[in-house]
Structure 1
Amino acid sequence: MSASDVTNLLTRTEGWVAGLHLAALSLLGRPAQSVSDFVRAFSGSHRYVLDYLVEEVLNRQPPGVQDFLLRTSILDRLCGSLCDAVTGGRDGHVTLERLEKANLFLVPMDDERRWYRYHRLFADLLRARMQQERPDEQAKLHAAAADWFERAGLASDAVSHALAGGDHERAAALIEQHSTDLLTRGELTTLLSWVRALPTSVVDARPALCISLAWAHTFAGQTARVEPLLEKAAAQIQLHAPSAAARDILGNIDCMRAFIATLRGDTARALDLAARADRLLAPDSFMQRSVIPYTQGIAYRGDGRFDESAAAFAEMVRLGEAAGNIWTISVGWYEMATTRRLQGRLREAMGILQMTQRLATEQGARHFGSLAKVDVGVSEVLREQNHLDAAARLVTNSLGVMESWVSPFDLMLAYLSLAQLRFAQRDWVAASAALEKADEIRHTHIVFPRLSSLTDIWHTRLALAQGHLQEAEAWVQTTQPGTRGPVIIQTAELITLARVRLAQGNLTAALQVLEMQESVTREIDWTGALIEILALQSVALHTLSQTSRALAALHESLRLAEPEGFMRVFLQEGETMRHLLQLGLREWTASEAPFAYAQHLFRCFDASSTQSPESTAHPGSVLVEPLSSREIEVLRLIAAGLTNQEIADHLYISVRTAKKHVQNINSKLDAHSRTHALARARELNLL
């Protein structure tokens, strides 16, 4: 047997020695190539296992115990009151204790021994026996289990038992009731699998379920399946008399269509549908209403109306708070931070993102795959400020968390962020691999136009970095930069066009494009893009030996960049920028605003050849993961000189918990002692 087959067999038998022996007997004489198939199929219904368990275990139990075992075999986990609900008895807990003491294949699932489960092979046997001897009882038993789980607030188990028992109407009602929670936690696979288990007729007859399924398909990138579901929902509404509930469903449909229009880049239609949804939705349909400001925020951002965009996302947050939905709140904050980051307000964006991280941690939602893009947002700011190692850790971890959240939009966002990070690290192979992942997503799903445009832009940037000018020019001819799409896409494309012309030596053409975009960005107060445009102008002018104008452009770019900690925008321009900074330091006086910043950037160029990119980050450092409110409280007590025991007494927690908080603080602050942690905290203005 291979090592993997041995591991799988141990998993199947859960270390049961007799089970391993029976498996070995069954393997005698089998050809080696069939071993893996045997291990995968090995279960309690295998004849050796079946004979052993029936003769040596099941048949030796009193009739009452046998009945208990068979009835409760439908359960994946057992507790006393649940067993009573299924069997109709009153001694479930006592029976479970007796079974455990008798070593009757009962495994405790917690230290309190409240929850148990049967050994896998024993459960296989019991279920096979139940199906053979009492097939008609199973629906009733599953219904009883569904009742108990629903009363206990364990919706997932309730739905599973309703489906297993064939009660599709009840399962559909439960799925409708809890679909928002599933979407919030990013459990798209669960929701889709449940709905697939229902007859189509049951789904089609429930407009609310059709809409929930449409949202799940949208987040999973299966947008082609959305409109038929919305049409079915609308058709069902037409069969009934007009009512407030019917208007609310129609408002839901318009919200869904507004989101799809936003996804397709049709902002005019999206805004029209959002306005109509606003008139139809019930005032207390907070979750559905949150789609309206989301649509508006995306549209305003695309047009460079950054303050209006931020205000729209603030309204989304307010509606999320009214609904008590952490996902809506977090997405609203994330999108607001994205707006501010694009605008050039990096520190405000980081503050918003760190607050969102802290909120998600306090709400127990930090592990949600649907919220992993908040960490991607933090990594984007860190990358701009040249904290490359910290950014890499965050975006890599986010991709791992996103595996449970199958949204192609968030995955593409993360891969684009990773590509830009690897580009900053001059790892062309890794950058190309990340872009290929983004390509795979956009070629199989409809994605936001900005993400698709960014993918093309970074393919072009990568081609330029490697000297592939023909490839870059091919993008220019194919895309015709600046001819379509919202302002932020057109400007990003035109800045890239200027880079292509610079690389080709066509400096006049490059400057014409940059001057035009300088005017656009000044008009809409787009500082983030203006910093890059001025930096590129300085490079082009310097190459044309117009040193005075080059230094003037660089001076203004540095003045705008310093308060927010922009660094990559300068470091990525290489030796030409280094020489410009050197000239600037000779020309400018030490009292001028950008002098110290120019000095720091100049040193970073020298350090980059011998140090990791992380070590060249601006002194105004930031935390990769923010401290929780309790950790900040502990930090203040450390600053007051309290010992771990005194902290524990003050906060009414155990010394072990206090030590854990101190360890977390040191880890997050990258500190090796209390003294170091306090110094780092003061550096970061946490104290």
Structure 2
Amino acid sequence: MKRSMMATKLYVPAPRRGFVARPRLREKLRLGSDSGLTLVSAPAGFGKTALLADWLGDATVQERRVAWLSLDAGDGEPATFWSGVITSLQSAVPGVGSTALELIGSSPLATELVLTTLVNDLAAAPQDVWLVLDDYHTVDSQAVGTGLAYFLENLPPQVHVVVSTRSDPDLPLSRWRVRGELAEIRAADLRFTPDETAAYLNGVAGLDLAAEQVNTLDQRTEGWIAALQLAALSLRDREDAAAFIERFAGDHRYIVDYLVEEVLEHQPDAVRSFLLHTALLDRLTGPLCDAVTGRDDGGTMLLTLERANLFVVPLDDQREWYRYHHLFADVLRGRLLSEEPAQVPLLHRRASHWYESHGHVEDAVRHALAGQDFDRAAHLAELAVPMLRRSRQDAVLFGWLKALPDAAIRRSPLLNVFYGGMLMASGDLAGVEQRLDDADRALAEAQRPAAGAAAAGLEGAETQELQMLPATIAMYRASLAQARGDVAGTSAHARRALDMAGPDHHFARGAAAAFLGLAAWADGDVLGALETFTQAVASLRAAGNLLDELSSTVILADMWLAAGRPGEARRICGNALRQADARGDSMMRASAELQVALSEICRQAGDLSDANRHLETASAFVEKGPMTESRYRWFVASALVAQDEGPDLALSYLDQAAELFRPGFFPDVRPIPAIKARVWVRQGNLSEAASWARAAGLSVRDDASYMQEYSHLTLVRLLIAQQHAHPDTNAAAGAVDLLDRLLASATDSGRGGSVVEIRMLQALAHDVLGHRRQALEALGAAFAGSPEPDEYVRLFLDEGPPMIELLREAASEAMHDAPDTATHDAAAAAHAQRLLTLGAPSEPQPPRPAERPPSDVDPLSERELQVLRLLDSELSGPEIARALFISHNTVRTHTKHIFTKLGVTSRRAAVSRARDRGLM
């Protein structure tokens, strides 16, 4: 089954025959070219679509590129809505939005990233582009509205959006109105004037009414075009026109009810039946109408209705596809429910079967749901799973799952598993387990004799997805155990998945091997993890799953870092990045993840310039990217780089990371709260760090455990800092024994990276306790314990003045030793001197030049002043970005410019300096 968009949704309606010329409204639309948004807002039947069709058909606007999207209730999901918008724009500007369309496949949808990418493409459009969103009121979605507001705020000047809607959208219209960025056409504008009413009734409709009769209808309809159309239709061939007009009264709803009854009563039974039975279709074509009505005259009937002006609107130039006027369709549906309620489910089911047979799975599911044929809807969803997974349309599947009754999902092993995946993405681990249990039960039922399979709705669904389902369930259970920190459970479920996967099921085998590797990693067996996970990556390659293969390289690099081989981690990430970049946009997610990994490696090696460059490259995707397991890592890497700019910025990034983090597929070997505690220790905020240690239940008497190692090493840093702050407390004494136990565990398991860090902390712990000789020996062992000592720079320099003092002594002591007795010391001294050169020059720094007078300072731009004012608040960087409707990356750029112009290095200093200079 294929996923496709009905081309008729993109059809720009042709001007209607006999349309009453309305130059005053054309002028309003022309003035909209000075605004980003033109809002055409009025109740049903005020001629919004007809007006736009007439305006766009004007020869004076032919040079403009026009993209049209007719919206309906099925477009309420952001992924569907923005897919339609981009497809529509591509019909006007070929090639635009291809990257954005690929990004929509992620789940949950990263709307701002999609729109940022789309806006960047549109900025290069050589001509004015007009995007018309017709019937926007059918999209009742706050998520769509939020994305549309962001899109409109960032439009390039040559792009204009027209929104046609029955009710005002939930957009910041007041703000745009004040800025002069909004053009509006309201019901008061759209109402027919008396002259236009006369032109329509006597010109277009040909009724030849007296001026008094025209005025009466104009007053009683208040220029409402739909009511006038219905009145004209009812007046046709009437001999008692005056009496009819005299009775014509009441509010709009009753007028419409009365007139539609008049219209329907004057139609032959065959026409009336056709109208009612096809009213539930959003789009009409002959074969579809035949399938729903059980007749064979659908095409002929649609042409007849069009000629009779019975409220059908053609959707293409071939007159194959139509739709009813929305107001007319609403009334027809109401009549159908009133007169033939039992027919409604049957009609929806017939429509569902037709759409399925023609490859339109989403429409087929929608009508099955509307017809309350939930087992069929579930079955169709099952058949669509392979297609949706290949195209990464998880959001569509999750939308169906939310619409299906729970009982229908529980009968389907496939849907239970993927519902569990949706819950895991949201962090509901208990819900995941229940769904996997339901999947096991449903699968057992499906594997019974034919009656059981039919009851489960899986007849004919023996696809590879179903064949692989037992292994898939086991993999999800491994992931669940991983998220709960159950290493043994992770390994057991992964082995079970591996046993159940067939020899040709490379993806299943690769995923199972990956979990075995992750379990070994979580257990501290890094060498075993490397061997197993490398095999997993090879299986992904054999399965042809390049995206997952390249993304998994990031995890493999983490393992090499734990093994003390950052150079190897750098090499494999670089190779994978070149492959990803060679594939272009399709591998953008993997490319971004690899850039983040390389940023951390570069920072550790002391190359802050490259670290920032990698983060900058990745930011466009990761910062607003899909909610993947690794998205939070961009914020962690940014926090590590930002520590030198000030702890507040680093902590802000870590807060963002914590919001995004979801336990799941990877061992949490570097918990975000522990990273924050390290920032506090470096900042000197020992009380916050101590509160973290108490809340985490950490003690120097704890057993050595790899999953707790990062937290234990953070605790050691806290104890050393407390000892420096209060020398008489002997706070660091217990840290020495803990470090000895951690060192033994790391050495036995081949975790070379841990060995370097532990020995470095041993040096600091001995030093603060007054054991200078032991401190220097531990420092030398830290240098000697790594085959790649030059890759470890920030590990040492981040420890600040105590480490600088030790490095200076290590460098100077070796200079006084005889070369033949101090080879080891000489190597340590050389490395110490290199670190000092990189991070702490031995010569005193010259005094800073006197501050320039304010008149000599580079002026701040208006946007920089806006950012500066918000820096003087409690808002985080991402919150400032949202407040100003710009990207977080742009906020960072403005902040750097502000710091440079004011000659400061922190947010607080910038605000203070700005106050001194009268800029606030």
The alignment's TM-score, normalised by the length of structure 2, stands at 0.50
Stretch moving more, 134-143 or 452-461? 134-143
2: CA distance between counterparts of 1:285 and 1:345?
32
Counterpart of 2:656 in structure 1 is: 437
Distance 1:497 1:241, change over 3 A: closer
1:129 matches 2:324: yes
Q: How far apart are 1:370 and its partner, in Å? A: 6.4
Distance 1:451 1:408, change over 3 A: farther
Counterpart of 2:707 in structure 1 is: 489
Counterpart of 1:47 in structure 2 is: 46
Counterpart of 2:94 in structure 1 is: 110
2: CA distance between counterparts of 1:286 and 1:271?
19
- Among 576, 594, 604, the alignment partner of 2:838 is 604
Q: How far apart are 1:533 and its partner, in Å? A: 1.9
1:195-234 CA distance string (max 9 Å, x none): 4455656644442233234334424544444233323322
Distance 1:387 1:174, change over 3 A: farther
Q: How far apart are 1:56 and its partner, in Å? A: 8.8
Counterpart of 2:697 in structure 1 is: 480
Q: How far apart are 1:466 and its partner, in Å? A: 2.5
1: CA distance between counterparts of 2:705 and 2:404?
45
Distance 1:210 1:606, change over 3 A: same
Distance 1:107 1:287, change over 3 A: closer
Summarize the alignment of residues 221-370 of structure 1 with structure 2, pairs less than 5 Å apart.
221-241=427-447, 248-364=468-584, 368-369=588-589
Counterpart of 1:517 in structure 2 is: 742
Q: How far apart are 1:144 and its partner, in Å? A: 7.8
1:585 matches 2:799: no
Distance 1:234 1:546, change over 3 A: closer
Distance 1:546 1:322, change over 3 A: same
Q: How far apart are 1:454 and its partner, in Å? A: 2.1
1: CA distance between counterparts of 2:655 and 2:71?
48
Summarize the alignment of residues 513-552 of structure 1 with structure 2, pairs less than 5 Å apart.
513-552=738-777
Distance 1:490 1:221, change over 3 A: closer
Counterpart of 2:415 in structure 1 is: 209
1:249-302 CA distance string (max 9 Å, x none): 223212211111111111111222222222323332222232322221111112
1: CA distance between counterparts of 2:427 and 2:710?
25
1:340-360 CA distance string (max 9 Å, x none): 112221010111112222222
Give SS of 1:573's match.
Answer: coil
Counterpart of 2:384 in structure 1 is: 175
Counterpart of 1:390 in structure 2 is: 610
2: CA distance between counterparts of 1:19 and 1:527?
79
Distance 1:501 1:247, change over 3 A: same
Q: Could you tell me whether the CA contact under 8 Å between 1:412 and 1:441 is conserved in 2?
A: yes
Distance 1:199 1:117, change over 3 A: farther
Counterpart of 1:677 in structure 2 is: none
Q: Could you tell me whether the CA contact under 8 Å between 2:497 and 2:508 is conserved in 1?
A: no
Give SS of 1:410's match.
Answer: coil
Q: Which amino acid aligns with 2:682?
A: A
2: CA distance between counterparts of 1:216 and 1:106?
31
Q: Could you tell me whether the CA contact under 8 Å between 1:264 and 1:449 is conserved in 2?
A: no
Summarize the alignment of residues 400-439 of structure 1 with structure 2, pairs less than 5 Å apart.
400-402=620-622, 405-407=625-627, 409-423=629-643, 425-439=644-658
Give SS of 1:588's match.
Answer: helix
Q: Could you tell me whether the CA contact under 8 Å between 1:176 and 1:212 is conserved in 2?
A: no
Q: Which amino acid aligns with 1:311?
A: E
Q: Could you tell me whether the CA contact under 8 Å between 1:535 and 1:553 is conserved in 2?
A: yes
2: CA distance between counterparts of 1:118 and 1:427?
44
Counterpart of 2:797 in structure 1 is: 571
- Among 710, 714, 719, the alignment partner of 1:501 is 719
1: CA distance between counterparts of 2:625 and 2:640?
22
Distance 1:325 1:523, change over 3 A: same
Q: Which amino acid aligns with 2:389?
A: T
2: CA distance between counterparts of 1:249 and 1:234?
9
Distance 1:209 1:485, change over 3 A: farther
Summarize the alignment of residues 91-110 of structure 1 with structure 2, pairs less than 5 Å apart.
108-110=92-94
2: CA distance between counterparts of 1:19 and 1:232?
62
Give SS of 2:671's match.
Answer: helix
2: CA distance between counterparts of 1:19 and 1:385?
69
2: CA distance between counterparts of 1:381 and 1:408?
21
1: CA distance between counterparts of 2:654 and 2:838?
27
Distance 1:190 1:200, change over 3 A: same
Q: Could you tell me whether the CA contact under 8 Å between 1:367 and 1:401 is conserved in 2?
A: no
Q: CA RMSD in A?
A: 4.6
Distance 1:56 1:436, change over 3 A: closer
1: CA distance between counterparts of 2:505 and 2:677?
44
Summarize the alignment of residues 594-673 of structure 1 with structure 2, pairs less than 5 Å apart.
594-606=828-840
2: CA distance between counterparts of 1:271 and 1:316?
14
Give SS of 1:593's match.
Answer: helix
2: CA distance between counterparts of 1:610 and 1:251?
63
2: CA distance between counterparts of 1:169 and 1:303?
40
Give SS of 2:324's match.
Answer: helix
Distance 1:218 1:293, change over 3 A: same
2: CA distance between counterparts of 1:362 and 1:407?
24
Counterpart of 1:456 in structure 2 is: 673
How many residue pairs get matched?
A: 532
Q: How far apart are 1:26 and its partner, in Å? A: 11
Q: How far apart are 1:395 and its partner, in Å? A: 3.5
2: CA distance between counterparts of 1:371 and 1:527?
27
Distance 1:336 1:492, change over 3 A: same
Structure 2 unaligned residues grouped into runs of 5+: 1-11, 16-20, 58-67, 75-88, 97-128, 137-163, 165-312, 316-321, 334-343, 369-375, 450-461, 724-729, 847-920
1: CA distance between counterparts of 2:506 and 2:42?
49
Q: Which amino acid aligns with 2:324?
A: R
Give SS of 2:742's match.
Answer: helix
Q: Could you tell me whether the CA contact under 8 Å between 1:294 and 1:316 is conserved in 2?
A: yes
Stretch moving more, 449-458 or 296-305? 449-458
The alignment's TM-score, normalised by the length of structure 1, stands at 0.66
Distance 1:512 1:374, change over 3 A: same
Give SS of 2:767's match.
Answer: helix
Stretch moving more, 244-253 or 294-303? 244-253
Q: How far apart are 1:50 and its partner, in Å? A: 4.0
Q: How far apart are 1:313 and its partner, in Å? A: 1.2
Q: Which amino acid aligns with 1:574?
A: G
Q: Could you tell me whether the CA contact under 8 Å between 1:399 and 1:411 is conserved in 2?
A: no
Q: Percent identity?
A: 22
Distance 1:429 1:172, change over 3 A: same
2: CA distance between counterparts of 1:23 and 1:190?
39
